[in-house]
Amino acid sequence: MEKAYIKEIAYYLPDCVVTNEDIVHDFPEWSVEKIASKVGVNQRHVAASDETAVDLAIAAAEKLFGNSNVDRQNVDYILFCTQSPDYFLPTSACIIQNKLGLRKSIGALDFSMGCSGYIYGLSLAKGLICAGIARNILLLTGETYNKHIHPKDKGNRTIFGDAATATVISTSGIAEIGNFSLGTDGSGAENLIIKSGGMRCPEKQNDLCFDENGNPVSSDYLYMNGSEIFAFTLDRVPPLVEDVLLHNTITKDEIDLYVFHQANKYMLNFLRKKIKIAPERFYDCLSEYGNTVSNTIPIALYNAIDDKTISGNFKVMLAGFGVGYSWGGTVLYFA
């Protein structure tokens, strides 16, 4: 059976940068220091009004092809993870195939996942390779969550950034993809949701109101129940880590680096301490990007490779968790 490897990673950020100073201008009751200390984000990139997740993903892919020895004509499958598609139909991955000038004799599909999306994408890519269906898969993630956020939603505006990433998964590369642990609990769906716009509730509800803390609540914009999401994360991620170790028959001490979904500083610190991971083995690159949803793990991986945090024969655990609820993890074996 073929093994699956990560071959190359690239990412793309929109030009517009929103700093903490910009946020404080809109919400003077906050301070730059408070945002940085509580959320752990100094700035975030935001897509332009006419810039979509597809545009960002195409830019990330072009960056990958331009900076590596990967030939676009060898790509035989596109997987595109987004919750910000251009259209209900057609499939965004089909549009991307045409825009990138890839062969027509390839597979292409979208999947709608959030903060666990990169893990799920790796699992799909590995499955395609191990089944002999594809040999070179272009896994794209792209999100423009800021388009879903109400302008007066100071909490979510401090957290989320827009971005896209491109990863080639192949039969050879820099890191072998290990075994997976995946999980789902749809009972938490309404704690991170945009209620209107789909077929269940197609029309905008125009039901904007403000809670006791002055935060907007609307069916037409992103709603996140922060306390419930935090509780879910603390409940599911520690067992996830144990299950990933079990599936890969290694111990916690054998993992050289842990790369978790970059949710927010407070949550990551709490998880690290709860799981008892040493700070030097826990990667954090949240401050310059924000929570970019399905993009956070590949952006962190790219930076950890680039700054030599990952070097030599490293074992790196990945863990994603969030909207759905969904969660997943795996181990990368760098040679």
218 CB-near residues (< 8 Å, 6+ apart): 150, 205, 207, 208, 209
Where does the pLDDT of residue 7 fall: very low under 50, low under 70, confident under 90, or very high at 90 and above?
A: very high
- Average pLDDT for 210-238: 94
Least confident of 23-32, 56-65, 82-91, 142-151: 23-32
Residue 82 pLDDT greater than 80, yes or no = yes
Please report, rounded to a whole number, the percentage of residues in the chain having pLDDT higher than 70: 100
193 and 329 share a domain?
A: yes
Question: Among 156, 173, 190, which residue terminates a domain?
Answer: 173
Is 320 within 8 Å of 297 (Cβ atoms)? yes
Pairing of strands 136-143, 77-81: parallel
Domain with residue 328: its CATH number is 3.40.47.10
19 and 166 share a domain?
A: yes
250 and 131 share a domain?
A: no
146 CB-near residues (< 8 Å, 6+ apart): 44, 46, 47, 157, 160, 161, 162
Is 316 within 8 Å of 331 (Cβ atoms)? yes
Is 178 within 8 Å of 333 (Cβ atoms)? yes
185 and 250 share a domain?
A: yes
41 and 61 share a domain?
A: yes
166 and 193 share a domain?
A: no
- Average pLDDT for 114-119: 98
Question: Among 148, 173, 198, which residue terminates a domain?
Answer: 173
Residue 30 pLDDT greater than 90, yes or no = no
Question: Among 120, 145, 173, which residue terminates a domain?
Answer: 173
Question: What integer pLDDT is reported at residue 220 of this predicted model?
Answer: 96
164 and 307 share a domain?
A: no
Residue 295 pLDDT greater than 90, yes or no = yes
What's the number of CA atoms in the CB half-sphere (13 Å) around residue 260? 24
Question: What integer pLDDT is reported at residue 214 of this predicted model?
Answer: 86
Where does the pLDDT of residue 69 fall: very low under 50, low under 70, confident under 90, or very high at 90 and above?
A: confident
Where does the pLDDT of residue 212 fall: very low under 50, low under 70, confident under 90, or very high at 90 and above?
A: confident
Question: What integer pLDDT is reported at residue 45 of this predicted model?
Answer: 98
Where does the pLDDT of residue 88 fall: very low under 50, low under 70, confident under 90, or very high at 90 and above?
A: very high
**What distances in angstroms separate CA 19 from CA 27, 35, 267, one per listed residue?**
13, 10, 21
Question: What integer pLDDT is reported at residue 290 of this predicted model?
Answer: 97
Question: What are the strands, taking DSSP E only, across 179-280?
Answer: 181-184, 192-193, 209-210, 216-217, 223-224, 257-260
**What would the pLDDT profile of 170-195 be if each residue is shown by its tens digit?**
999 999 999 999 999 999 999 999 99
Question: What is the rounded CA–CA span in Å between residue 299 and residue 259?
Answer: 10
283 and 163 share a domain?
A: no
Q: How many domains does the chain have?
A: 2
Q: What is the overall mean pLDDT for the chain?
A: 96
140 and 233 share a domain?
A: no
Question: What integer pLDDT is reported at residue 242 of this predicted model?
Answer: 98
297 and 185 share a domain?
A: yes
Where does the pLDDT of residue 131 fall: very low under 50, low under 70, confident under 90, or very high at 90 and above?
A: very high
Where does the pLDDT of residue 1 fall: very low under 50, low under 70, confident under 90, or very high at 90 and above?
A: confident
Question: What integer pLDDT is reported at residue 68 of this predicted model?
Answer: 84
Structural domain range at position 305: 181-334
316 and 186 share a domain?
A: yes
191 and 110 share a domain?
A: no
